[in-house]
Structure 1
Amino acid sequence: MRKAIATVALSGTLPEKLEAIARAGFAAVEIFADNLEAFPGSARDVRRLTDALDLEVVLLQPLRNYVGAPAERRAEANESARRLLENMNQLGCRLLLACSATDAASSPEPAAQIEDLRRLADLAQQHGCAVAFEALAWGKYVNRLSQAWDRVRAAAHPHLGVMLDSFHVLAQGEGAREIMAIPVDKLYFIQMADAAAARRAAYQGVWSLEIFNDCYRQSAPASVAAEGFASLQWLQRQVEALD
């Protein structure tokens, strides 16, 4: 099990977060775009930090309100995507997280959402990257894992897959059945979802912690990172016991 944690889970500056993550034993990290923007250097400077810490940047997130963006916001959405992908190239990262739209002005039409996903995946491919699409539980028109998979399947793009996040999946009452319906080669990333179902589906990728918790973000980053790593070790033992 390759273990990762998102920088958004920890307090401190980006270098402090990365150092705490590496010292806790993680081999990989998700970088939150807001943390990257707050960093005074470039994405290439962050790459030098992660290389020195022997950390792989496995995900940059999130790209918001791209899928279904109204026509008047299309140029802005494309520019946001390009900027993130260019940062990913500097970070040595190959996977971009795109969330389902929360904007009330976004398109409710599946065909428009599918076309946007295909367009985004084309752009990612041009940068040597891929896109993981996540259904937010509070998404305006796509708020279930099964809906995200329907769009990804219909887009049929080799650089497009699904993000599986425990909070959003369980909040909508979905679980093993919906997870098992997704081919393993299209299950691009897991943020601590139904571990047993994902294991049965033969998922071999990264298992990551994404924690939005104000208490954690007010605590020492080293202690939060260490507790997170210990929780993933515990989870690994539980899942392996099911084999």
Structure 2
Amino acid sequence: MRTSIATVCLSGTLTQKLHACAEAGFDGVEIFEPDLVAAPESPEEIAALAGRLGLSLDLYQPFRDAEGVSVEAFDAVLRRARAKFRLMARLGIDTMLVCSNVATATVDDDEHSAAQLRRLGEEAAPYGVRLAFEALAWGRYVDDYRRAWRIAELAGHPGVGVCLDSFHILSRGHDPSAIEAIPGEKIFFLQLADAPALTMDVLSWSRHHRLFPGEGAFDLARFVGHVLAAGYGGPLSLEVFNDTFRQTDVLRTAQQAKRSLRWLEDQVARSGGAVSLPGGPERLPDVDPPRGFDFVEVKAEDAGEVDTLLRQLGFTFRGRHRSKPVRLWAHGPARVVCNENLAREWPPTLAAVGFEVADPKAATQRAGELKAPPVFRRTYAGEQPLPAFRAPDGTEVFLAGEPEWVAEFESDGAEVPPEDPVLTGIDHVNLAQPWQAFDEAVLFYGSVLGLRSAGSQDVAAPTGLVRSQVIRSADGAVRLALNVAPPAYDDPRGFPQHVAFASSDVMLAARAARARGLRWLPIPGNYYDDLAARFDLPASLVEEMRELGVLYDRDENGDFLHFYTETAGSVFFEVTQRRGGYDGYGAPNAAVRLAAQHQRDQRLSRR
């Protein structure tokens, strides 16, 4: 399907936005009026640039406070409209977005508003301009798309139709199924935006918190399905007001936006029904979500401190890579690669995550269609090629079937693994995200890997709130926690991130680690006093947890025990045990962990 994007979605000047949209692969753009007003180029120059770039100019927006006004005030509306119609002729744009009145409306009457839209349609016709009437969610009288269509229908003019905007409809909880009652030819334009589930006034929600499809909580596939079922044949266009996107690199944001539409097109295509039409939405290659973690990679100039932590947790050294300065550690199915290749002046950093996928070829093709940036790593003869892509935060994501690459590690010096490993795999991986890449990362892991968003929350840390979002597979085999550091966090090593290993017996794992010399993250005694008050646990168990630094949580399905190591560089490890149907991450303990890490960092900085 054709794709379009409003210039308001992007940072930069109007010409920079047009170049970025073309490079990202969009077919057209909506011209946001303030962008044109601030541009030094003439409308003819903007139109010529768009033509050279292969972009159509699909919509001019917004035209405000046009209907529901008094007869006397309508004269001023007509004067403004005629000037904009002449401007649109210079740009070569044939559709104008007319918003429902939010400020100057004084007449709450559908016939009155329809008559004014009819007159505007008559004025627009000589210029070849159509009017797409949109119900703003905060419109003074018209705030429902069904009423906007009723008014457009009453206008009875071929140049008056409606614009449907997913935010204005879904944010108000309106049922989109009635869209199918609107004739497709009268749906002049479609604007799409996702959004997080927030409880706030709808205007602030709209102006600051819209997201690209796949990054929020709206069911946009169902919404678009209704629009296409009505017979709409225009572009899928994005109109996203977001404080972050207006500050980030214009090309990167345009590419993120295009990826979101490609993902949405796939979701709509999979919904079937009336949308399976020639020229309609196309599916991406079928892939199942990853079936587990293959490995994690820690990169550092000197990873000796990480080696020590892994050995203390019970990992055994499995060999050095035959052609690279890389070491493999394993405990049962949990594998950690320590990479010192091209890592000069790197502190220990969680640099890559490998996922086990059923069909690496299909998964790679899907990632390519979503324009995930590929990662090149030199592979020599006899080595398993592992396709890889770079996530928005810079983490390298590898896709593998069977872990044949393990055979590339020479066995000289390899240790014998335990016969009865207490660690059973990787439970989850926690990745720190730059503030400007957070929403892009949610979309990346959801669209490229087929993971889904779970709960999000803010966790209190000594330096501010940490924003956290879980992305996971349905069966829980793969869980990623994406965290954004507070703005005041300024440690040059970066915000800590970690790997959580699953265990069949976390108390046994903690005692064994302590016997090997592990120094775990110290947990304050106040925590265990509070734990004894909150849960009916045996006093002896609480005392043992206090001694071993083990933390505890419980929900209606089961309970959770876990402990943390100290941090090496920006990396630390966690050992977890889920009992019963517990499906969380020990969230009540996160603030305790963050405070303990902060206190340790302060002690070290004073040395």
TM band (smaller chain):
over 0.9
Q: Deviations over 1:145-200 (max 9, x none)?
A: 00000001111111111100001011222233221121111111111261111122
Q: Is structure 2 residue 220 aligned with structure 1 residue 213? A: no
Q: For residue 210 of structure 1, report the CA deviation from its aligned partner.
A: 0.2
- Higher relative contact order, structure no. (Cα contacts within 8 Å, ≥ 6 residues apart): 1
- Give me the TM-score of the superposition, normalised by structure 2: 0.39
Q: Deviations over 1:98-135 (max 9, x none)?
A: 00000154321222101111011111112111010000
Unpaired segments ≥5 residues, structure 2 = 193-219, 273-607
Partner of 2:130: 130
Q: Is the 8 A contact 1:199 1:239 kept in 2?
A: no
Question: 1: CA distance between counterparts of 2:60 and 2:75?
Answer: 21
Partner of 1:236: 265
Q: For residue 69 of structure 1, report the CA deviation from its aligned partner.
A: 2.4
Code of the residue aligned with 2:85 in structure 1: it is L
The two structures, once aligned, show a CA RMSD in angstroms of 1.3
Code of the residue aligned with 1:206 in structure 2: it is P
Q: Is the 8 A contact 1:10 1:216 kept in 2?
A: yes
Cα 1:242–1:89 change in 2 (3 A) is: same
Matches within 5 A, 1:93-172: 93-172=93-172
Code of the residue aligned with 1:222 in structure 2: it is L
Question: 2: CA distance between counterparts of 1:158 and 1:104?
Answer: 26
Q: Is the 8 A contact 2:105 2:140 kept in 1?
A: no
Q: For residue 75 of structure 1, report the CA deviation from its aligned partner.
A: 2.8
Code of the residue aligned with 2:21 in structure 1: it is I
Question: 1: CA distance between counterparts of 2:253 and 2:54?
Answer: 19
Cα 1:122–1:221 change in 2 (3 A) is: same
Q: Is structure 2 residue 228 aligned with structure 1 residue 199? A: yes
Cα 1:105–1:58 change in 2 (3 A) is: closer
Partner of 1:39: 39
Question: 1: CA distance between counterparts of 2:131 and 2:20?
Answer: 27
Question: 2: CA distance between counterparts of 1:207 and 1:7?
Answer: 14
Code of the residue aligned with 2:245 in structure 1: it is Y
Q: Is the 8 A contact 2:61 2:97 kept in 1?
A: yes
Code of the residue aligned with 1:127 in structure 2: it is Y
Q: What is the percentage of aligned positions where both structures have the same residue?
A: 41
Cα 1:146–1:240 change in 2 (3 A) is: same
Question: 2: CA distance between counterparts of 1:79 and 1:134?
Answer: 21
Q: For residue 16 of structure 1, report the CA deviation from its aligned partner.
A: 0.5
Q: Is the 8 A contact 1:145 1:178 kept in 2?
A: no
Partner of 1:224: 253
Secondary structure in 1 matching 2:232: coil
Q: Deviations over 1:10-56 (max 9, x none)?
A: 11110011111111000100000111111112211110111111100
Partner of 1:52: 52
Cα 1:219–1:209 change in 2 (3 A) is: same
Question: 2: CA distance between counterparts of 1:39 and 1:100?
Answer: 27
Cα 1:105–1:238 change in 2 (3 A) is: closer
Secondary structure in 2 matching 1:107: coil
Q: Is the 8 A contact 2:169 2:176 kept in 1?
A: no
Q: For residue 88 of structure 1, report the CA deviation from its aligned partner.
A: 1.1
Q: Deviations over 1:195-219 (max 9, x none)?
A: 1111222322111000000110011
Question: 2: CA distance between counterparts of 1:90 and 1:3?
Answer: 23
Secondary structure in 2 matching 1:202: coil
Q: Is structure 2 residue 25 aligned with structure 1 residue 25? A: yes
Secondary structure in 1 matching 2:102: coil
Partner of 1:64: 64
Q: Is the 8 A contact 2:184 2:230 kept in 1?
A: yes
Code of the residue aligned with 1:156 in structure 2: it is G
Secondary structure in 2 matching 1:218: coil
Question: 2: CA distance between counterparts of 1:82 and 1:219?
Answer: 36
Secondary structure in 2 matching 1:58: strand
Cα 1:181–1:5 change in 2 (3 A) is: same
Question: 1: CA distance between counterparts of 2:56 and 2:105?
Answer: 37
* Structure with greater proportional strand content: 2
Secondary structure in 2 matching 1:140: coil
Code of the residue aligned with 2:260 in structure 1: it is S
Cα 1:22–1:106 change in 2 (3 A) is: farther
- Give me the TM-score of the superposition, normalised by structure 1: 0.96
Partner of 1:9: 9
Q: For residue 76 of structure 1, report the CA deviation from its aligned partner.
A: 2.3
Partner of 1:92: 92
Code of the residue aligned with 1:199 in structure 2: it is L
* Structure with greater proportional helix content: 1
Question: 1: CA distance between counterparts of 2:238 and 2:81?
Answer: 24
Question: 1: CA distance between counterparts of 2:79 and 2:34?
Answer: 16
Code of the residue aligned with 1:235 in structure 2: it is L
Q: Is the 8 A contact 1:68 1:112 kept in 2?
A: yes
Partner of 2:429: none
Q: Deviations over 1:44-100 (max 9, x none)?
A: 111011111110000000100011223443232112211221111111111000000
Question: 1: CA distance between counterparts of 2:98 and 2:105?
Answer: 17
Code of the residue aligned with 2:269 in structure 1: it is E
Matched residue count: 243
